Amino acid sequence: MDPRPRPRSTPVTPARNPDTRTLATVAHTAFFLLLGASLARFLLRHPGDPRTPWIIALSVTLALLYVLGPALGIRDAAPTPRRLVWLGLVVATWVVLVVLAPSFAWCAVPLFFTALRTLPPRAAIILVALLTTFVVIAQLQLAKAFDPNLLLAPPAVAALATAVFVHMERQTQAQRALIDDLIRTRRELAATERREGTLAERQRLSMEIHDTLAQNLSSQQMLLQAADRTWETDPATARAHVRTATGIAAHGLAEARRLVHDLAPSELADGAGLADALRALDAGPDIEVRFHLEGTPTTLPDRVQSALLRIAQGALANIREHSGARTAALTLSFLGDQVVLDIADDGHGFAEPQPSAATPGRGHGLPAMRARVRQLGGTLTIESTPGEGTVLSASVPLEPTG
């Protein structure tokens, strides 16, 4: 549950794209297969060659460098200096290998993919062109006679691979933009519907209050004023006015209770307890919600049940939208003189909670939770550590019974 403002939508990065991960796996596998095949070819074609120790050492170095990138967390991301240094070392080692043994030239094909997903498009194309040039030179050195295919095939393969990759990246970016627009539109529509529902409910309540409570109070005022005027001259009539006003007040009290009952959460209707309502809460298909009950349950005031239920609903909404959690746990504890509701998640957490900052676009975030608990004389605490989840605890004191 992160109280800090977050973007409306989270684009899917290449590292999270299953298709990109599959392509990366194929490219890595192809690189090691080509590297192993090139080393085997050199050892078979040049037994006892004085370059052999250098070739083996450079091959092992190139393999280690290639593995070192993912091992150090150098994955698909912006071209950071560390990643650029790593790519430069890989390319430089490969170039030395190709100079000593031209048969290692075809290891450049997987390096095309590495360059394209590491560098900006223009820089990546320049690097691919340089790698292709080395491949052409190496193949011409291996050929016994001039072969036009060796001059034209590598550039054609490189151009085709680059064009396909760039096209796929553009399609992926367009798809991400479309998904972001759809998510933003859906949230704006939901916000509009909430506002319209709020306005409609306010109008309904204003009409209910005007037609019931306000009319009853007006009638009571008129009857009591009439009783006051006739109290000395006609006591019987004055008492009749008072009795009528009392009946109207009783009717108004019943109407007020009906309005309060209608405003209570539907989950607590028909006598349902807070524990049952919390047990039925859901945070979406991707989050498992668990409920625990501790202590001996007691009858809670309606306003306490309503406030704790609303806090749980708001906390689960924050977990679903901001935390990235997979599980959430609700614990309702009856401790005699107080009731405590704990909501814990295994999300990414946050470092510095800002209890006074509301989440943009929402009116029922942490400030609303604090206000609900404060109205009941309780406290709301939040404990969170980056990478270790968040625990929200609402404690409400209970009046002694008997």
Q: What is the pLDDT of residues 175-216, one digit of tens each?
A: 888 888 888 888 888 888 888 888 877 877 777 777 667 777
116-162 tens-digit pLDDT: 777 777 887 888 888 888 777 877 777 666 767 667 777 777 777 77
CA-angle at 161, arms to 158 and 165, nearest 5°: 140
Q: Cα separation of 324 and 322, whole Å? A: 6
What letter represents residue 77's amino acid?
A
Reduced to 3 states (helix: H, G, I; strand: E, B; else coil), residue 48 is coil
Q: Cα separation of 396 and 136, whole Å? A: 77
Burial class (CB in 10 A: 0-12, 13-18, 19+), 217: middle
pLDDT over 70 at 352, yes or no: no
Tell how far CA 257 is from the center of its chain.
41
Backbone angles phi, psi at 271, to 5 degrees: 80, 10
Dihedral Cα 73, 74, 80, 83, nearest 10 deg: 140
* 111 strand-pairing partners: none
Please tell me the number of Cα atoms within 13 Å of 374 on its side-chain side: 6
pLDDT at position 5 is 41
Q: Cα separation of 347 and 342, whole Å? A: 15
Do β-strands 327-334 and 288-294 pair in parallel, antiparallel, or remain unpaired? parallel
Burial class (CB in 10 A: 0-12, 13-18, 19+), 148: exposed
pLDDT at position 344 is 92
* Whether 332 contacts 319, CB under 8 Å: no
Cα dihedral sign for 69, 72, 78, 82? Answer: negative
Task: State the CB neighbour count (10 A cutoff) for residue 372.
Answer: 22
* Whether 1 contacts 322, CB under 8 Å: yes
pLDDT over 50 at 331, yes or no: yes
Q: Cα separation of 285 and 182, whole Å? A: 19
271: left (phi over 0), alpha (psi -120 to 50) or beta: left
Task: State the CB neighbour count (10 A cutoff) for residue 222.
Answer: 13
Q: Cα separation of 388 and 320, whole Å? A: 16
pLDDT over 90 at 65, yes or no: no
pLDDT at position 339 is 93
75/105: higher pLDDT: 105
pLDDT at position 293 is 92
pLDDT at position 40 is 86
Nearest-10 crossing angle of helices 148-209, 108-118: 30
State the pTM of this model: 0.41
Structural element, H or E, at residue 396:
strand 390-397
As given in the structure block, the two tokens for residue 220 are 């009571």
Q: Cα separation of 367 and 360, whole Å? A: 12
Mean pLDDT of the chain: 78
Confidence class of residue 393 from pLDDT cuts 50, 70 and 90? Answer: very high
